[in-house]
C-alpha cells in the first residue's frame, strides 16, 4: 500500500517550502519527516499539508508549514543546539525543532494544549522534547542558556527574561507587534554589542497572553 501522507509531505516541501527559498537541508528533511496530519484535528486532516494555518483546540492555530520552516531556518540551528519554544500549541513546531536540534524545551500557557502536545510527542518518541505548562514570559531558567528561542505567539515586546536566557551569539525568532492581524517576523541576535534586529516577513499570529499584556 502506498503512503499518501508521505507523498503529500514531499509535495508540500517542494511547492510551499523549497520553492519559496528555504534551503537548509536539516529544515527540509525535518519538514519531510514530521507527520503534520497527526498534529491537526481529525476533521482537518485532509488538508494537513495544505498551504495554510489550521485551527487547533482552544481557539489556537497550528502555523502554516512555510512559516514553521522560515522560523526554523532563521533560528540557524545546529544539531548540538538547545532550543526554547514559547507557545507549544499542537506541538508541531516543537517536533520540527526536535528533528534538527539536540534538546527542545517548549512552554504552553493553556494547560489542556500542553498536556495533549506532551502526550502526542511522547507517542511519536520525541524523547528530546520537553513540554511544560506555564507562562513563557519567564522562560525556563533551569534549562538556560539556549542557543535559540522561537516565540510562536504575537508579542508587543521581547520578554526580558528570554533575552537573559539566550547565549551570546544566540537567536530569537518572533512575531513582534501589537496589532492583531499583522506583525513583523524578526530575528534578534544577541551580540557582545547588544541586540541585532533583522526583518524577515510580515506575519499573522495569535496573541501571546499572560504577563506580557500586564
Tell me the catalytic residues: 63
CA distance 119 to 116: 5
Which is closer to ligand SAH, CB of 47 or CB of 196?
Answer: 47
CB-based contacts of 22-26 (< 8 A; 24+ apart in sequence): 22/66, 22/69, 22/70, 22/73, 23/73, 24/72, 24/73, 26/77, 26/79, 26/99, 26/100
Residues 6+ apart with CB under 8 A from 122: none
**Of positions 13, 34, 62, 83, contacts ligand SAH by CB under 6 A:** 62
**Residues forming beta bridges with residue 132, ordered by sequence position:** 107
CA distance 170 to 163: 9
Does 165 interact with ligand SAH (rule: CB under 6 A)?
Answer: no
Does 92 interact with ligand SAH (rule: CB under 6 A)?
Answer: yes
Closest approach, Cβ 12 to ligand SAH, in A, equals 15
Build a one-symbol-per-residue string for 93-132: x at contacts with ligand SAH by CB under 6 A, - elsewhere: x-------------xxxx--x-------------------
Build a one-symbol-per-residue string for 133-152: x at contacts with ligand SAH by CB under 6 A, - elsewhere: --xxx--------------x
Closest approach, Cβ 32 to ligand SAH, in A, equals 17
Build a one-symbol-per-residue string for 179-208: x at contacts with ligand SAH by CB under 6 A, - elsewhere: ---------------------------x-x
Does 61 interact with ligand SAH (rule: CB under 6 A)?
Answer: yes
Strands 103-108 and 129-133: parallel
Does 89 interact with ligand SAH (rule: CB under 6 A)?
Answer: yes
End-to-end Cα separation, the chain, in angstroms: 54
Does 90 interact with ligand SAH (rule: CB under 6 A)?
Answer: yes
Nearest to 73 by CA among 25, 35, 10: 25
Binding residues for ligand SAH, per CB under 6 A? Answer: 60-63, 86-87, 89-90, 92-93, 107-110, 113, 135-137, 152-153, 206, 208-210
Amino acid at each position: 500500500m502506498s503512503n499518501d501522507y508521505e507523498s503529500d509531505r514531499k509535495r508540500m516541501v517542494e511547492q510551499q517550502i523549497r520553492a519559496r527559498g528555504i534551503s537548509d537541508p536539516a529544515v527540509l528533511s525535518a519538514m519531510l519527516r514530521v507527520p503534520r496530519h497527526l498534529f491537526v484535528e481529525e476533521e482537518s486532516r485532509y488538508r494537513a499539508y495544505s498551504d495554510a494555518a489550521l485551527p487547533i483546540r482552544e481557539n489556537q492555530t497550528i502555523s502554516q508549514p512555510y512559516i514553521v520552516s522560515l522560523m526554523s531556518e532563521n533560528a540557524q540551528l545546529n544539531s548540538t543546539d538547545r532550543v526554547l519554544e514559547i507557545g507549544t500549541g499542537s506541538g508541531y513546531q516543537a517536533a520540527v525543532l526536535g528533528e534538527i536540534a539536540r534538546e527542545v524545551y517548549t512552554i504552553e500557557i493553556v494547560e489542556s494544549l500542553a498536556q495533549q502536545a506532551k502526550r502526542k510527542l511522547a507517542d511519536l518518541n520525541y524523547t528530546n522534547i520537553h513540554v511544560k505548562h506555564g507562562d513563557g514570559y519567564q522562560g525556563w531558567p533551569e534549562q538556560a542558556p539556549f542557543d535559540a528561542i522561537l516565540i510562536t505567539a504575537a508579542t508587543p515586546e521581547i520578554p526580558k527574561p528570554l533575552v537573559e536566557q539566550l547565549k551570546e551569539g544566540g537567536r530569537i525568532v518572533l512575531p513582534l507587534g501589537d496589532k492583531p492581524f499583522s506583525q513583523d517576523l524578526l530575528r534578534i541576535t544577541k551580540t557582545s554589542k547588544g541586540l541585532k534586529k533583522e526583518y524577515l516577513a510580515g506575519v499573522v499570529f495569535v496573541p501571546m497572553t499572560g504577563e506580557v499584556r500586564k
